[in-house]
Amino acid sequence: MSQLPNAARPGMLSFDEAMERLLSAARPIMGSESLPTMDALHRVLAEDIVSGLNVPPMDNTQMDGYALRVSEVSAKALPVSQRIPAGHVGGALEPGSVARIFTGAMIPSGADAVVMQEQVEQISPAQGDTPAFVMVKHQAKPGEWIRRAGEDIRAGTCILKLGRLLSPQALGLAASVGVAEVVVKPKVKVACFFTGDELAMPGEALKPGAIYNSNRFVLVNALRALGCEVRDLGIVPDTLSATRDALRDAASDADLILTSGGVSVGEEDHVKPAVEAEGELDMWQIAMKPGKPLAYGKVRIPGQGDSQAENSIAHFIGLPGNPVSSFVTFLLFVKPFVRIMQGMSKSDALNPLRALHLRADFAWPKADKRREFLRVCLNAQGGLDLFENQSSAVLTSTVWADGLVDNPAMQTIAKGDMVRFLPMSSLQQ
């Protein structure tokens, strides 16, 4: 029997097909803004940063010691002709002498090596830490303990490329070449709401049949962690009119609308007809577990006419309501989509989905027609343990997990098998 890869049944999209369709709709948002380097954490660069200088800017010493000419080292004591602390500039090294020098200080002209202070015998009389003469006990090689100008960065080199996510160390690198302001993409504006008559907010008493709206806390904060500006419209009741009103409100000031719940095809699922009425929608059944239903569409921005132009629509992604499904589909689909909107390349946006190959210390004897993303933890032996309840309603598993095992459709796992592991630390980065 022929079988489409990963497709559980006709009409279902494979994970890769869904990803391809979704990401091909993502566009970087327009514009840029300038920010102090100190305030640009987690933003995406809108311009290359090219270094205007060498780093380090000058030859300097890696050690506390003595700068000298290698050719002048002999059994004789040498006079200490100057003292150069970090941040100070010495004079040219007098012939036949050494210079007392401290880590980070500029190498005086004429010197071609530094000898560590531990490899030198001090000859009195000393003034503070600087003796009048020293016996050098080490045959230095030219260049020893000297950090060369431009060794880290050459002037004119691009140190951070457009599309780069700014981590603390990237900001430090920009600062190391004297960049005080960086040009970054504007924040992606995301409006979100959560459908479900059963939802209540923490702080409220739970009525019979109700549950707390945990997705709101996961998704709003996951978006904030990506550096989005989030407009949180809260809970929306399960009616067509309330869902349409919420969509119009959301579209009035958002690049992307994100919702959870109501994307199945039951009578109480109003997202599909509401988005169709306010724009257009593709409903996907993805051959994955958790997270089968996912909706992508476009919602017209009120007052912008009927055009399909990027500035007349807000993108729409509807996630399933089950907490694990919405969290996992957020990490796997929404996050790369947002990264592309933020100005990142598609391959960089998908980088966190690259798997490590690790040993399963568990068995998964029942193959599924759908590609599965199992919640697992790293154990002390370097293998993976499985969370015992893999239900898509069990949020506990996502807090416990160090990552997901990406298990192909129709595949069982025996103890000791090598599996594809997606670390939570990269999925969330």
Strand residues in 387-425 grouped as ranges (E): 403-407, 418-423
Which of Mg ion, ligand AMP, none binds 211 (CB below 5-8 Å, type-dependent)? ligand AMP
Indicate the residue among 36 and 209 with the shorter CB distance to Mg ion.
Answer: 209
Indicate the residue among 321 and 403 with the shorter CB distance to Mg ion.
Answer: 321
In the complex, what is the shortest distance from the CB of residue 238 to ligand AMP, in angstroms, rounded to a whole number?
A: 8
CB-based contact 79:97 (threshold 8 Å): yes
**Interface residues toward ligand AMP, by CB under 6 A:** 194, 196, 198-199, 211, 213-216, 260-264, 320-323
Indicate the residue among 68 and 223 with the shorter CB distance to ligand AMP.
Answer: 223
Indicate the residue among 120 and 236 with the shorter CB distance to Mg ion.
Answer: 236
Question: Which residue of this chain has its Cβ atom nearest to ligand AMP in the complex?
Answer: 321
In the complex, what is the shortest distance from the CB of residue 260 to ligand AMP, in angstroms, rounded to a whole number?
A: 5
In the complex, what is the shortest distance from the CB of residue 220 to ligand AMP, in angstroms, rounded to a whole number?
A: 11
Indicate the residue among 236 and 277 with the shorter CB distance to Mg ion.
Answer: 236
Which of Mg ion, ligand AMP, none binds 108 (CB below 5-8 Å, type-dependent)? none
Site string for Mg ion, 77-106 (x = CB under 5 A): ------------------------------
Which of ligand AMP, Mg ion, none binds 214 (CB below 5-8 Å, type-dependent)? ligand AMP
DSSP codes, 250-282: HHTT-SEEEEES--SSSTT--HHHHHHHHEEEE
CA separation, residue 401 to residues 329, 389, 404, 423, 428 (Å): 16, 12, 7, 9, 12
Amino acid identity of residue 338, one-letter, is V
Which of ligand AMP, Mg ion, none binds 336 (CB below 5-8 Å, type-dependent)? none
Contact set for Mg ion, span 222-281 (CB under 5 A) = 261-262
Site string for Mg ion, 289-328 (x = CB under 5 A): --------------------------------x-------
User: The dihedral of CA 257, 263, 266, 268: what is its sign?
Assistant: negative
**Any bridge partners for residue 184, and if so which?**
33, 45
Which of ligand AMP, Mg ion, none binds 352 (CB below 5-8 Å, type-dependent)? none
Which of Mg ion, ligand AMP, none binds 312 (CB below 5-8 Å, type-dependent)? none
Tokens at residue 187, please? Answer: 């924040």
Amino acid identity of residue 89, one-letter, is V
Tokens at residue 25, please? Answer: 């709709």
Tokens at residue 367, please? Answer: 């193959």
Indicate the residue among 197 and 249 with the shorter CB distance to ligand AMP.
Answer: 197
User: The dihedral of CA 199, 201, 205, 211: what is its sign?
Assistant: positive
Which of ligand AMP, Mg ion, none binds 78 (CB below 5-8 Å, type-dependent)? none
CB-based contact 74:140 (threshold 8 Å): no
Give the binding-site size for Mg ion (rule: CB under 5 A).
Answer: 4
Tokens at residue 340, please? Answer: 């592309």
In the complex, what is the shortest distance from the CB of residue 390 to ligand AMP, in angstroms, rounded to a whole number?
A: 16
In the complex, what is the shortest distance from the CB of residue 7 to ligand AMP, in angstroms, rounded to a whole number?
A: 22
Alpha-helical runs (H) found in 148-237: 168-176, 214-225
In the complex, what is the shortest distance from the CB of residue 12 to Mg ion, in angstroms, rounded to a whole number?
A: 21
In the complex, what is the shortest distance from the CB of residue 262 to Mg ion, in angstroms, rounded to a whole number?
A: 5
Indicate the residue among 270 and 298 with the shorter CB distance to ligand AMP.
Answer: 270
Q: Which of 148, 181, 170, 155 minimizes the C-alpha distance to 51? A: 155
Indicate the residue among 261 and 343 with the shorter CB distance to Mg ion.
Answer: 261
In the complex, what is the shortest distance from the CB of residue 329 to Mg ion, in angstroms, rounded to a whole number?
A: 15
DSSP codes, 57-106: SS-EESSSEEEE-GGG-SSS-EEEEEEE-TT----PPPTT-EEEE-TTPB
Query: What is d(CA 429, CA 427) in angstroms, rounded to the nearest whole number?
Result: 6
CB-based contact 71:141 (threshold 8 Å): no
Indicate the residue among 134 and 328 with the shorter CB distance to ligand AMP.
Answer: 328
**207 CB contacts (<8 Å, ≥6 apart)?**
200
Look at residue 210 and give its three-state secondary structure.
coil
- Please report where in the chains the tokens 């990552």 appear, as a residue: 403
In the complex, what is the shortest distance from the CB of residue 321 to ligand AMP, in angstroms, rounded to a whole number?
A: 2
Q: Which of 31, 9, 96, 57 minimizes the C-alpha distance to 286? A: 9
Indicate the residue among 164 and 270 with the shorter CB distance to Mg ion.
Answer: 270
Q: Does 196 bind Mg ion (CB under 5 A)?
A: yes
In the complex, what is the shortest distance from the CB of residue 321 to Mg ion, in angstroms, rounded to a whole number?
A: 5
Contact positions vs Mg ion (CB under 5 A): 196, 261-262, 321
